[in-house]
């Protein structure tokens, strides 16, 4: 492991170094500890860096010179304010050390970026450039720093004139994201199109370009991109489903909904290899009002995403829109199990219990908590009224439901209100009022089991007295 960590250090691969050394952080050799400290620093975990320095490296007399530079950079930018001047002085001294000048300038870039010091950043970046040791990502951070300081046009000019192409997928992504940040959206689209020739075997580049085309509503180009994905052997299998979604999104943007729906159905015909991408795609389809395709994408992903609250929330939304009470109940219960303190998860679980008329005591407990937490929410109050009805507390339910103004509700909320009032009046044998409430129920918002219950209960109403 020590040899691997040294390779990671040499190649500046600090994320893999963290994954390698983190689980064994209490049993590291001095060499591994040095790499681990650097990895913590580069990942921005400064509190942990400082803690481990105090615990281990700071107590050793033979601290490596490069690690001393890291500690100086920490003191200059992130340490206690009374140590900042000493840290800067130590870091500036290292700038003159031939053995440490590249590292010290590179760390000074991070300090200057953190402190918003554009002039100091430029000085160290120019020095690294003179020694041919500057990296594209360091220029990108400089442009981003200028933008945050209100110098976006200057940053954009530097970005446009930068001659060096990216050498990796990561650099390509950061450069494209920075173009967008600087308002260079057309340049970003053209840049990503060009990078497909070199990095087109990486799904990430296709996804970046697709996102940009969707954001800019470039539907013809998006449809062409979808076809290109299916023609590229290296990404065809991994992104085939997603390419059909992109094609459907383009057709929808071009106002051809029938073709779009067919493409969305194709996107759901086999499981997504990338589960996270599948979840993202399903959520996008839900926003576009295609819950059936979203559900069909989500169901095969359960094995890999069963611990994800976001997965169960998406599946709940699809089931709710499709009026599938059993699936809705399962999804709501799993989401609530994973996040019992989350208000949305609790509300969805309560709604599922009410629709299915089950676990009455749990339903009233949840709805009471939600109504207390959101006293101005009509939906929370309606749900509590419905839970009271399930627990045969009809008088309380009627009082609560009658305190809600129907005119201030949306159509779905109004249906729930009148469904509750219908049940309350029926229980109290106020049949004329029950009929009046029933007449105001819009059945298109009811689940099949709710509609069945309503029809059966309506059938139990006594006939109206004959007119004289």
So where are the chain's domains? 357-461
Tokens for 274? 């990338």
State the pLDDT at residue 465: 66
Residue with tokens 């509590």: 384
Under the banding of pLDDT at 50, 70 and 90, the label for residue 62 is: confident
For helices 257-267 and 275-287, what crossing angle results, to 10°? 150
Residue 82 and residue 64 in contact, taking contact as beta carbons nearer than 8 Å = no
Distance CA 364, CA 366 (A): 5
Rounded to 5 degrees, φ, ψ at 183 are 80, 15
Give residues with Cβ within 8 angstroms of 306, minimum separation 6: 334
- Is pLDDT at 467 greater than 60 in this prediction? no
- Is pLDDT at 27 greater than 90 in this prediction? no
Under the banding of pLDDT at 50, 70 and 90, the label for residue 76 is: very high
Architecture of domain 357-461: Alpha Horseshoe (1.25)
Average pLDDT over all residues of the chain: 94
Q: Give me the helices (H) in 43-168, please.
A: 46-55, 65-77, 81-95, 101-115, 118-130, 136-148, 152-161
In terms of Cα–Cα distance, which of 304, 299, 333 is closest to 315? 299
- Is pLDDT at 311 greater than 60 in this prediction? yes
Region 158-182 average pLDDT: 96
Q: Could you report the per-residue pLDDT of 107-135, keeping only the tens digit for each? A: 999 999 999 999 999 999 999 999 999 99
State the pLDDT at residue 198: 93
- Is pLDDT at 461 greater than 60 in this prediction? yes
Tokens for 363? 């339903």
- Is pLDDT at 468 greater than 60 in this prediction? no
Looking at residue 466, the DSSP 8-state letter turns out to be P
8-17, 44-53, 229-238: which has the minimum mean pLDDT? 8-17
Specify the higher pLDDT residue, 420 or 28.
Answer: 420
For helices 81-95 and 65-77, what crossing angle results, to 10°? 140
State the pLDDT at residue 59: 62
- Is pLDDT at 158 greater than 80 in this prediction? yes
Which three-class secondary structure state does DSSP give residue 136? helix
In terms of Cα–Cα distance, which of 64, 61, 33, 60 is closest to 49? 33
End-to-end distance of the chain based on CA atoms, in angstroms?
96
Specify the higher pLDDT residue, 25 or 394.
Answer: 394
- Is pLDDT at 447 greater than 80 in this prediction? yes
**Quick one: CA dihedral 190, 195, 201, 205, positive or negative?**
negative
- Is pLDDT at 7 greater than 90 in this prediction? no
Under the banding of pLDDT at 50, 70 and 90, the label for residue 94 is: very high
- Is pLDDT at 220 greater than 60 in this prediction? yes
Region 336-348 average pLDDT: 93
Give the containing element (helix H, strand E) for 460: none
Residue with tokens 């029809």: 455
Tokens for 63? 């601290």
Distance CA 270, CA 245 (A): 13
In DSSP notation, 252-291 reads HHTT-HHHHHHHHHHHTSS--SSHHHHHHHHHHHHHTT-H
Strand ranges in 283-333 using DSSP code E only, listed in sequence order: none
């Amino acid at each position: 492991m020590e040899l691997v960590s040294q390779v990671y250090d040499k190649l500046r691969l600090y994320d893999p170094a963290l994954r390698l050394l983190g689980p064994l952080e209490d049993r590291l050799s001095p060499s591994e500890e040095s790499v681990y400290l650097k990895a913590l620093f580069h990942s921005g975990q400064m509190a942990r860096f400082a803690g481990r320095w105090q615990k281990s490296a700071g107590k050793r007399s033979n601290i490596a010179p490069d690690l001393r530079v890291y500690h100086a950079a920490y003191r200059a930018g992130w340490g206690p304010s009374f140590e900042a001047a000493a840290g800067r002085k130590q870091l500036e001294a290292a700038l003159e050390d031939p053995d440490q000048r590249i590292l010290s300038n590179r760390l000074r870039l991070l300090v200057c970026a953190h402190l918003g010091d554009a002039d100091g950043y430029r000085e160290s970046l120019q020095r690294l450039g003179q020694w041919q040791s500057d990296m594209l990502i360091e220029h990108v951070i400089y442009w981003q720093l200028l933008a945050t300081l209100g110098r976006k046009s200057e940053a954009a000019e530097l970005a446009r004139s930068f001659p060096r192409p990216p050498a990796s997928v990561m650099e390509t992504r950061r450069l494209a994201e920075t173009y967008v940040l600087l308002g260079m959206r057309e340049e970003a689209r053209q840049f990503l199109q060009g990078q497909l020739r070199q990095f087109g075997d990486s799904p990430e580049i296709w996804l970046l370009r697709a996102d940009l085309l969707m954001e800019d509503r470039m539907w013809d180009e998006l449809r062409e991109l979808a076809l290109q994905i299916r023609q590229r052997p290296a990404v065809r299998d991994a992104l085939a489903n997603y390419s059909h979604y992109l094609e459907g999104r383009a057709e929808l943007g071009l106002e051809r909904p029938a073709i779009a729906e067919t493409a969305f159905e194709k996107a759901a015909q086999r499981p997504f290899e990338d589960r996270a991408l599948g979840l993202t795609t399903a959520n996008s389809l839900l926003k576009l009002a295609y819950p059936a395709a979203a559900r069909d994408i989500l169901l095969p992903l359960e094995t890999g995403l069963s611990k994800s609250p976001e997965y169960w929330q998406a599946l709940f939304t699809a089931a709710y829109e499709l009026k599938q009470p059993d699936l809705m109940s399962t999804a709501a219960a799993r989401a609530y199990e994973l996040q019992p303190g989350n208000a949305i998860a609790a509300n969805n679980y309560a709604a599922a219990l009410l629709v299915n008329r089950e676990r009455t005591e749990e339903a009233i407990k949840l709805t009471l908590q939600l109504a207390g937490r959101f006293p101005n929410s009509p939906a929370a109050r309606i749900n509590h009224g419905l839970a009271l009805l399930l627990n045969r507390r009809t008088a309380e339910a009627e009082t609560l439901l009658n305190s809600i103004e129907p005119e201030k509700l949306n159509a779905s909320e109004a249906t729930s209100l009148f469904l509750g009032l219908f049940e309350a009046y029926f229980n109290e044998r106020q049949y004329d009022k029950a009929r009046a409430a029933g007449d105001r129920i819009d059945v298109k918002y009811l689940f099949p089991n709710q509609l069945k219950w309503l029809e059966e209960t309506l059938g139990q109403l006594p006939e109206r007295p004959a007119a004289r």
